[in-house]
Structures are given as structure tokens and as C-alpha cells.
């Protein structure tokens, strides 16, 4: 037992096995992925990669359950002071900031291609001399012709902003509202409304993901818009794909929160787990707005 | 500050235990001192490994012609030397110092998130195990330089690049979580009354470093992810044939890479800002301006990245903007150097090992700063680019900058860590051997670089032979000397004169108010700092001998 907290004392946890399990889990996961990718690329018939990756992923899941479970238990045992709560808040805020910067790298790549490298390759602007690489290449955005179509076959079309993406925008923005509604209900201790609001949020998130998958299938099978169809496809799928992965993660986190609420966790005063999940969800929502504007509309 | 030097260090009255026994102490620990020690040892191991690669490089360059290694292996050595020194030696050393010292300096019981802290550390051996293992894979390890420019690192890379990418991802996770922990600790766990402007500069510089880390490590993760996709999933981020651009790689990489340079030096600025006042027996000159200068350097570090790319073909307006922005950094850096010198001015100076390293830091880092200013001049950079002049420049800021900063810190705080005084005579020998060796190794590189010797090539023109031989001799001397450092540290851990709580009479700060060695748990009840004046009032430094 670490200190029996008097209120001035900060809770310093005892030794924990979870960090080292997390390290091993991550190492096994990435080693498996790397082996898998390399074997795929080299066309090797047999690969131990998928199995190693699968073991690693299982370990990661086990670690997540264990580590977060331990934190939930400590929190419910009342070990966390208001000061500890602030540490979690700073931690989560800066984690979200790091995610913002991760997306910034891909948005930066998009802007750089659209406003500098693309036009230069088409012969315009300060470095228009790049056009000598593929004389006659004409740049346009969306890029429906690549400089070397043999290596990177151009897509026949792109996704219109005003179809599925617009519906998806409505879905995600609504989900932010339902989540806030649920949060207000939690603060007023209205558990029924809380459950309803949160369940609605998860459903809206799931609906978003289903439509996103439909959009991808459409792009791949009918438009020839793929990861390999030149820089438009690359930026399109990487930006929307990482966003989709974050929506998936967020939906899982919110589902865990729903389960915890069904088990009677959280009080109107203490519910930082819920709040952190909500912050994450709103962040994912804001990223989507940026995607909608810069990837689909403009 | 001497007013607080009392015995509230171990006011823990509850049943507190010491460290656990055996291996589990290190694997499972949540103690900031244990984790700090592990970071420092890991960093030193990486320093020796990266150093031995430098020895291979210098042995090959001892004479013109190919004698010892083949070009392919030479490329792997230069690449791994850079990666290991940057990510394995310098960064973890500063995180280790932060772990040990920040809680002691701000009166906190531990880091804000102790389990995350353990995770951040143990990811490092995993990441570096993976990275170093690539050397033994088919096709060899990374051979594209530590900056891994595409398409060398994508289209033309050995197969092991995939594992290199994942190793970078693991290091990134480690750095980001470590940085989050540092920020949460500084912003949330300061003792009552410890206002921001009462914090030691080491805490300030680490706060800003942590911000830089969280801002740019994800961008590094982004750029290696783009590489991974280009290599394995047919994207064309860095291939002009698909509408992408290899230069995009350099922009994204250096958007990370330039702030990274300051990540490696700002904590050293902070440590030196504690050490110079201690051995000058005067308060730091211009505390407030030091804080603002650090902030200004951090801000500028985000808008100078293309000065690494002057010759790649960027528009003229870009060359001009990045040239002037880069030169601006000389202003806040100049403020710092001015303040360190002014702190020493008419002080009662003594030159124990920490002070020797700190003074050498100020002088030699300034030389590195000046050659940086030369490189910042875009038209001149067309001559210097990719020559040994660049190598000389960044080794002058990293070796007597970052590394000497770390040595100074290590000697300064070793008595606090171990409870023993280190062997001052041997430490002075370590300093002078390092000082002479390092200058012999890197100063001639300025000359051969200006004369046109390209970097990253295992062979060179006969006319560079003499200077290269001098460089190699200096490098061997510097390298061998570090084994002496290992000996000094081990000797200090095993015994030596007992260190008092405050072994340096001019030293300031809460860390000297706890006994030496610092107890396993400190400041469980935070000290009250409300009576201590802020530095900016100019009254924080009355010292009684």
C-alpha cells in the first residue's frame, strides 16, 4: 500500500507491471507488423508476421484492460485528490495537442502539394522548371492525371463533398451535440438521459464509420481512387483514414464509458474519465470539419 | 533561498518503504529517482555505442583511401551514430536529469504520472533494441544518413527500413509521454508558493523543451508514416511521378528537426544557468530575460526549418525569409551568453569540474553558434552545404554544448545522487582530456569543410590527409576519455568522502535542502515557498557562506 492519502498528499502508485507489459506488447506488435509488411513486399509465401502481430495486439488489449482497470479501481477507491485530477487533465490536454500535431503533418503535406509542389510540377511559379521532368504534364486539383500514369494510374473521379461526406458531417456534428447533452445530464445526475445521449453518440459514430466504409468501397471499385493513384489518393486516404481510425478509437472509448455508466460509475462531481472521452470525441469532430473543408470541399 | 534549507525533506510520517529488491525494482518502479537513474545509465550506454561507431568512422578517415570498412558499412555507421547519439544518448540523458531533479527542484513528491513515466523509459530499450538489430538484418541497417531523406530512405532503402520506422515510432511515443509528464509535473506539482518565476531555470527550460517535444515528435511520426506508406502501400508522398515531391520529405522532417535541435540544447542552458551562479557565488544575472530568451528561441525554432534546405531549390523569398529568421535566433542566444558572462563578472569564482564544463560550454557553444550564423547566410551556404564545415558546426553545438552540459550536470548533482563526493582530480583530468580531444577532433573539420571536403564519404582527397589524421587522433582521445568518466562515476557510487546536503557553498535551490543521498521519497509534504522571493525582484540570492 502506498500512502493512505490525507488530502494534501499526492497519490504515488506502487510498483506496477502494466508499463513493462505495455512495452513488450508494443514491441511484439510492431515487430510483427514490420515482418508482415516486408514479407508482403518481397512476395514471400510464408510469413510469421501476422501471427506475431496478432499476439502483440492481444497483449495490447490485455494491457489496456488491466492498466485502465487499475486506474478506474483506484479512482473509485477515492485515492485521487483534486490535484491528481488536474494531472490527468493536463495529461489528456497535451495528448490531444500531440494528436493535433500528427494531423498537422498530413494537412501540411496537403497544403504544400496543392500550393507549391503541384503547380511547380505543372510548370507554374518559382520552381516551374520541375516541369522538365514530365514535359507537358498539366497540374490540376483534384489530380486526375499523374505525371507517370504507369506507376501511379490516375483516378477517374473523386468523391463529391455534397453526397456522403455532407451526411457524415451532419452525423458527427450531431454526435457532438448528443454527447454534450449526455454530459449535462451526468452533471444533473439524470442517468436515463445520460445513457440515452451516450448511446446515441456511439450509434451516430458507428453510422459515420459505415458510411465512410461505403465511400471507400465506392472510391476503390468505381472511381479507381486508391492509395496508389497519385498524390490526391495518398493525401485523401491518409487524412480520412487516420481520422476514421480515431473515430473508431473514440467510439470504443465511449462504449467503455457507456458500460461503466451502466455499472453505476461516475458521479455529477467526479467523472473525468467521461470528460476525457468527450474531449477526445470533440477533437475528432473538429478534425473532421477541417477535413470536410480542405479535403472534400476546396 | 538559504532560508528554506531545513529538514522538511523527509517529513513523511507514514510507513514508507524504500526500494523493492532485485530486478523488479527496476522493471516495475514508479519512483522518479529510479527512473531517472535508468535513463542516465541507458543514455551512457547509448553514448558508448554511438561513440564506438564514431570510432569506426574516424578510423576509416584516419587516412585517405579505403582501409577498414566498405562504403556500404560506412554509411550504416554514420547513420546509426547520428540516430543513436540524438535519440539514445542526448535526449534520454536530459530526460534522466529531468526525472531526478525537477521533482526535487519544485518540491514535488514524484512525477505527476509515475506509471507513464516507467512506460516512457522502458520503451527506449525496446526501440533501440529494434533499431540496432537492423544492423544484423539482410541488406544491412539504415544507410541513408540520420536525416533519412527520401527517396534514399524509401525507394532505395534496405528492407530493414521498415523496422527503423517502427523504432522511430516507439521512441516518439516515449518522448511524447515523457514530455507530457514533465509538463503536468511542472504545472501541477509545484510546492505552495513556488510561482513560475521562482522556478530554477532548468525547470523553465525543460517546460519549454517538453512543449517543443509534444509539438514536433508527432510530426516526425507523421513523416515516417508517409515513408512507410510510400514503401509498402503505393502512396506517392515523396515521388514526383505520382504528383508528390521528395522535397516534401525535407520540409516535414526539418519542421521536426529544427525544434529537435533546441530540444537537445535548452535543458543544458537551464543546467548551466544553475551551475555558473553556484561557482561564481552570485545570483544569476538576468533571470527574467533568460526565461523570455528561452521562449523566444523556442518560438523561432518553428520558423527556420528551411535553412537546412537552401540548396535543394526553394523560392528566393523562402531563402530570404529563412535566412533572416535564422539570424534572429542569435539575439536571444546572445542574451543568454551575455547573462552567463555577466554572472561570472566579478564573482568569486572557483573551478571544480561542473564549473569547468560549464565555462567550456559557454565558450565552445558560442563558437558553434557563430559557425551556425555563417551557415545561415544563404548565399554562403551554397559553398558550405554538405561539407565537413556543417559537421564541425553541429558537433560544436552538440558535444561541448549538449554533452558538456550533461557532464556539468552529472558532476554538479552526483553528490546529491550518490551521497559521495566524486574524485575531483580525476574529474578535472576527464575535463581536460575531453576538452583537448574534442577540439582536436572537430576544429580541423572547419578547415577541411571550407576547402570542400564532403561529409558522409569514406574516402577523400589527399590534400585533406593531415587535418583528418589530427581529427581522428582527437576523436580517439575524446572517446577513450569517456571510459574514465565511467570509472569516476562508479568510484563515486561505491564510496568517497560523504557529501553534505549542500556540497557547493554557492548553490541555490530546493534540491540542496534534502540530505545527500536524496532519500527514496522526498517532499511527500510539500515545502512552503511563499516566503522565498522571486528571482526578478533581485533579492533571491542572498547567500551565507
Q: Where does residue B109 rank: exposed (0-12), middle (13-18), buried (19+ CB within 10 A)?
A: buried
Neighbouring residues of A259: CB distance < 8 A, sequence distance ≥ 6: none
**Are B72 and B140 in contact, with CB atoms under 8 Å apart?**
yes
Q: What angle separates helix A272-291 from helix A82-112, to the nearest 10 degrees? A: 10
Backbone φ and ψ of B498, nearest 5°: -65, 135
CA-derived radius of gyration, chain B: 23
Which of B32, B282, B307, B521 is an active site residue? B307
**Are B284 and B273 in contact, with CB atoms under 8 Å apart?**
yes
Helix (H, G, I), strand (E, B), or coil: what is residue B387?
strand
Asked if B214 lies within 8 A of A101 by C-beta distance, the reply is yes
Helix (H, G, I), strand (E, B), or coil: what is residue B341?
helix
Query: Read out DSSP for B37-82?
Result: HHHHHHHHHHHHHHHHHHHHHHHHTTSSS--SS-HHHHHHHHHHHH
Give me the pLDDT at residue B425, please. 98
**Interface test mutation site (partner B, options A7, A29, A34, A63, max chain B beta carbons within 10 A):** A34
- Cβ neighbour number for residue A97 with a 10 Å cutoff: 18
Domain positions in chain B: 34-526
Which of B336, B416, B446, B521 is an active site residue? B336
Which of B333, B409, B472, B516 is an active site residue? B333
B501 compared with B18, residue with greater pLDDT: B501
**Interface test mutation site (partner B, options A9, A13, A23, max chain B beta carbons within 10 A):** A23
B334 compared with B539, residue with greater pLDDT: B334
Q: Which of B119, B127, B126 is nearest to B164 (CA)?
A: B127
ipTM value: 0.96
Q: Does position B543 have pLDDT exceeding 60, yes or no?
A: no
Residue with cell 513523416: B223
Q: Where are the strands (E) in chain A, listed by range?
A: none
Q: State the nearest Cα–Cα gap between B524 and chain A, in angstroms.
A: 7
Neighbouring residues of A159: CB distance < 8 A, sequence distance ≥ 6: A165, A215, A218, A219, A223, A225, A236, A296
Q: What is the mean pLDDT of residues A113-130?
A: 95
**Are B364 and B339 in contact, with CB atoms under 8 Å apart?**
no
Q: State the nearest Cα–Cα gap between A80 and chain B, in angstroms.
A: 12
The span from the CA of B526 to the CA of B521, in Å, is 12
Neighbouring residues of A224: CB distance < 8 A, sequence distance ≥ 6: A153, A154, A155, A156
DSSP B536: G
Handedness of CA A86, A87, A89, A94 (dihedral sign): positive
In Å, what is the CA distance from A37 to each residue of A42, A53, B228, B434, B493? 9, 11, 9, 45, 46
pTM reported for the whole predicted model: 0.95
Give me the pLDDT at residue B203, please. 98
Asked if A91 lies within 8 A of B184 by C-beta distance, the reply is yes
For the question of residue B146 being annotated catalytic, the response is yes
Residues in chain A within 8 Å Cβ distance of B255: 105, 108
Q: What is the mean pLDDT of residues B87-108?
A: 98
Q: How far is CA B65 from the centre of its chain?
A: 34
Give me the pLDDT at residue B536, please. 47
B212-232 confidence digits (pLDDT tens)? 999 999 999 999 999 999 999
Average pLDDT, chain A: 95
Least confident of B16-30, B455-469, B476-490, B502-516: B16-30
B228-267 confidence digits (pLDDT tens)? 999 999 999 999 999 999 999 999 999 999 999 999 999 9
Give me the pLDDT at residue B532, please. 82
Residue with cell 540548396: B311
Domains and their CATH numbers in chain A: 1-80 (1.10.287.70), 84-297 (1.20.120.80)
The span from the CA of A133 to the CA of A150, in Å, is 15
The span from the CA of B384 to the CA of B375, in Å, is 7
Helix (H, G, I), strand (E, B), or coil: what is residue B459?
coil
Q: What is the mean pLDDT of residues B157-181?
A: 98
Give me the pLDDT at residue B15, please. 44
Q: Show the cell assigned to A285.
A: 469532430
Neighbouring residues of B155: CB distance < 8 A, sequence distance ≥ 6: B239
The span from the CA of B488 to the CA of B218, in Å, is 38
Helix (H, G, I), strand (E, B), or coil: what is residue B200?
coil
Neighbouring residues of B41: CB distance < 8 A, sequence distance ≥ 6: none
Q: Where does residue A295 rank: exposed (0-12), middle (13-18), buried (19+ CB within 10 A)?
A: buried
Give me the pLDDT at residue A68, please. 97
In Å, what is the CA distance from B113 to each residue of A73, A225, B109, B110, B327? 16, 44, 11, 8, 39
Asked if A37 lies within 8 A of B119 by C-beta distance, the reply is no
Q: How far is CA B260 from the centre of its chain?
A: 9
Q: What is the mean pLDDT of residues B15-37?
A: 89
B498-535 confidence digits (pLDDT tens)? 999 999 999 999 999 999 999 999 999 899 998 887 76
In Å, what is the CA distance from A8 to each residue of A32, A79, A275, B525? 46, 12, 24, 7
The span from the CA of A33 to the CA of A164, in Å, is 32
Neighbouring residues of A221: CB distance < 8 A, sequence distance ≥ 6: none
Neighbouring residues of B119: CB distance < 8 A, sequence distance ≥ 6: A18, A19, A22, A23, B174, B177
Asked if A101 lies within 8 A of B110 by C-beta distance, the reply is no
Q: Does position A276 have pLDDT exceeding 80, yes or no?
A: yes
**Chain B window 115-144: which residues touch A at a Cβ cutoff of 8 Å?**
115-116, 118-119, 122-123, 126, 129-130
CATH topology classification for B34-526: Cytochrome C Oxidase; Chain A (1.20.210)
Asked if B243 lies within 8 A of A232 by C-beta distance, the reply is yes
Q: Which of B278, B26, B134 is nearest to A20 (CA)?
A: B26
Neighbouring residues of A252: CB distance < 8 A, sequence distance ≥ 6: none
The span from the CA of A138 to the CA of A121, in Å, is 8
Q: What is the mean pLDDT of residues B351-379?
A: 97
Give me the pLDDT at residue B537, please. 45
Bridge partners (DSSP) of residue B387 are B454
For the question of residue B260 being annotated catalytic, the response is yes
The span from the CA of B69 to the CA of B83, in Å, is 20
The span from the CA of B411 to the CA of B489, in Å, is 9
Average pLDDT, chain B: 94
Which of B43, B134, B175, B326 is an active site residue? B175
Which candidate from B14, B229, B247 shows the least CB-CB separation from A4?
Answer: B14
In Å, what is the CA distance from B504 to each residue of B271, B350, B509? 15, 10, 11
User: What sections of B345-455 are H helices per DSSP?
Assistant: 353-376, 378-384, 388-397, 404-418, 424-450
Residue with cell 570542400: B452
A254 CB near a chain B CB, below 8 Å?
no
Asked if B30 lies within 8 A of A13 by C-beta distance, the reply is yes
Neighbouring residues of A115: CB distance < 8 A, sequence distance ≥ 6: none
Q: Does position B544 have pLDDT exceeding 50, yes or no?
A: no
Give me the pLDDT at residue B535, please. 63
Give me the pLDDT at residue B17, please. 66
Q: Which of A161, A135, A157 is nearest to A145 (CA)?
A: A157
Q: Which of B542, B541, B545 is nearest to B200 (CA)?
A: B541
Amino acid at each position: 500500500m502506498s500512502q493512505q492519502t490525507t488530502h494534501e498528499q499526492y497519490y504515488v502508485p506502487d510498483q506496477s507491471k502494466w508499463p513493462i507489459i505495455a512495452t513488450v506488447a508494443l514491441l511484439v506488435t510492431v515487430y510483427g507488423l514490420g515482418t508482415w509488411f516486408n514479407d508482403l513486399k518481397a512476395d514471400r509465401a510464408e510469413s510469421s508476421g501476422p501471427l506475431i502481430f496478432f499476439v502483440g495486439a492481444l497483449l495490447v488489449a490485455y494491457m489496456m484492460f488491466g492498466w485502465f482497470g487499475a486506474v478506474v479501481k483506484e479512482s473509485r477507491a477515492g485515492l485521487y485528490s483534486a490535484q491528481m485530477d488536474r494531472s490527468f487533465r493536463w495529461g489528456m490536454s497535451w495528448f490531444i495537442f500531440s494528436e493535433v500535431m500528427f494531423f498537422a503533418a498530413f494537412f501540411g503535406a496537403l497544403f504544400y502539394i496543392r500550393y507549391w509542389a503541384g503547380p511547380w510540377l505543372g510548370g507554374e511559379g518559382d520552381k516551374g522548371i520541375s516541369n522538365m521532368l514530365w514535359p507537358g504534364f498539366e497540374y490540376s486539383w483534384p489530380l486526375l492525371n499523374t505525371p507517370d500514369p504507369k506507376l501511379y494510374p490516375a483516378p477517374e473521379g473523386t468523391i463529391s463533398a455534397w453526397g456522403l461526406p455532407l451526411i457524415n458531417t451532419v452525423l458527427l456534428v450531431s454526435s457532438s451535440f448528443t454527447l454534450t447533452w449526455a454530459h449535462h445530464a451526468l452533471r444533473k445526475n439524470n442517468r436515463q438521459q445520460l445513457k440515452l445521449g451516450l448511446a446515441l453518440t456511439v450509434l451516430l459514430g458507428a453510422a459515420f464509420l459505415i458510411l465512410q466504409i461505403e465511400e471507400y468501397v465506392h472510391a476503390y471499385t468505381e472511381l479507381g481512387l486508391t492509395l496508389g493513384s497519385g498524390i490526391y489518393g495518398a493525401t485523401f486516404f491518409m487524412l480520412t483514414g487516420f481520422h476514421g481510425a480515431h473515430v473508431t478509437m473514440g467510439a470504443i472509448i465511449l462504449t467503455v464509458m457507456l458500460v461503466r455508466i451502466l455499472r453505476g460509475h461516475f458521479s455529477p462531481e467526479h467523472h473525468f474519465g467521461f470528460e476525457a472521452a468527450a474531449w477526445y470525441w470533440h477533437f475528432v469532430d473538429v478534425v473532421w470539419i477541417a477535413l470536410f473543408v480542405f479535403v472534400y470541399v476546396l | 533561498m538559504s532560508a528554506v534549507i531545513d529538514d522538511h525533506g523527509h517529513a513523511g510520517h507514514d510507513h514508507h518503504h524504500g526500494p523493492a529488491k532485485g530486478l523488479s525494482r527496476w522493471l516495475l518502479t514508479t519512483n522518479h529517482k529510479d527512473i531517472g537513474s535508468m535513463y542516465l545509465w541507458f543514455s551512457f550506454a547509448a553514448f558508448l555505442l554511438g561513440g564506438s561507431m564514431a570510432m569506426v568512422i574516424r578510423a576509416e578517415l584516419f587516412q585517405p583511401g579505403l582501409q577498414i570498412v566498405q562504403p556500404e558499412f560506412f554509411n550504416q555507421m554514420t547513420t546509426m551514430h547520428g540516430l543513436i547519439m540524438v535519440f539514445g544518448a542526448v535526449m534520454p540523458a536530459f530526460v534522466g536529469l529531468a526525472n531526478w531533479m525537477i521533482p526535487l527542484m519544485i518540491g514535488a513528491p514524484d512525477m505527476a504520472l509515475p506509471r507513464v513515466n516507467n512506460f516512457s523509459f522502458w520503451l527506449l530499450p525496446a526501440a533501440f533494441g529494434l533499431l540496432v538489430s537492423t544492423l544484423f538484418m539482410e541488406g544491412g541497417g539504415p544507410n541513408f544518413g540520420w536525416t533519412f531523406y527520401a527517396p534514399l530512405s524509401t525507394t532505395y532503402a534496405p528492407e530493414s527500413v521498415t523496422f527503423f520506422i517502427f523504432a522511430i515510432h516507439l521512441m516518439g511515443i516515449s518522448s511524447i509521454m515523457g514530455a507530457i509528464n514533465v509538463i503536468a509535473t511542472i504545472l501541477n506539482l509545484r510546492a505552495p508558493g513556488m510561482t513560475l518565476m521562482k522556478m530554477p531555470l532548468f525547470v523553465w527550460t525543460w517546460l519549454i523543451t517538453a512543449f517543443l517535444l509534444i509539438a514536433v515528435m508527432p510530426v516526425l511520426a507523421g513523416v515516417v508514416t508517409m515513408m512507410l506508406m510510400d514503401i509498402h502501400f503505393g502512396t506517392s508522398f515523396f515521388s514526383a511521378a505520382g504528383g508528390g515531391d521528395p522535397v516534401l520529405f525535407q520540409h516535414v522532417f526539418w519542421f521536426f528537426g529544427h525544434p529537435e535541435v533546441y530540444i537537445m540544447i535548452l535543458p543544458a542552458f537551464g543546467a548551466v544557468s544553475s551551475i555558473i551562479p553556484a561557482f561564481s557565488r552570485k545570483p544569476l544575472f538576468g533571470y527574467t530575460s533568460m526565461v523570455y530568451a528561452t521562449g523566444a528561441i523556442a518560438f523561432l525554432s518553428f520558423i527556420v526549418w528551411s535553412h537546412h534546405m537552401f540548396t535543394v531549390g526553394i523560392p528566393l523569398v523562402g531563402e530570404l525569409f529563412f535566412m533572416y529568421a535564422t539570424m534572429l535566433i542569435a539575439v536571444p542566444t546572445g542574451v543568454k551568453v551575455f547573462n552567463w558572462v555577466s554572472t561570472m563578472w566579478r564573482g568569486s569564482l572557483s573551478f571544480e569540474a561542473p564549473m569547468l564544463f560549464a565555462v567550456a560550454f559557454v565558450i565552445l557553444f558560442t563558437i558553434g553558434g557563430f559557425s551556425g550564423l555563417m551557415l545561415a547566410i544563404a548565399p554562403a551556404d551554397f559553398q558550405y552545404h554538405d561539407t565537413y564545415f556543417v559537421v564541425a558546426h553541429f558537433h560544436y553545438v552538440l558535444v561541448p554544448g549538449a554533452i558538456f552540459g550533461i557532464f556539468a550536470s552529472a558532476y554538479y548533482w552526483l553528490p546529491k545522487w550518490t551521497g559521495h563526493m566524486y574524485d575531483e582530480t580525476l574529474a578535472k583530468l576527464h575535463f581536460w582530456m575531453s576538452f583537448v580531444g574534442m577540439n582536436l577532433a572537430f576544429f580541423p573539420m572547419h578547415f577541411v569543410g571550407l576547402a570542400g571536403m564532403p561529409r558522409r564519404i569514406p574516402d577523400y582527397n589527399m590534400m585533406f590527409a593531415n587535418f583528418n589524421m589530427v581529427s581522428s587522433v582527437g576523436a580517439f582521445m575524446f572517446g577513450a576519455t569517456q571510459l574514465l568518466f565511467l570509472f569516476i562515476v562508479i568510484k563515486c557510487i561505491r564510496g568517497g568522502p560523504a557529501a553534505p546536503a549542500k556540497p557547493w557553498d554557492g548553490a541555490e535551490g530546493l534540491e540542496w535542502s534534502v540530505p545527500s543521498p536524496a532519500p527514496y521519497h522526498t517532499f511527500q509534504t510539500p515545502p512552503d515557498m511563499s516566503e522565498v522571493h522571486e528571482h526578478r525582484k533581485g533579492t533571491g540570492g542572498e547567500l551565507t557562506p
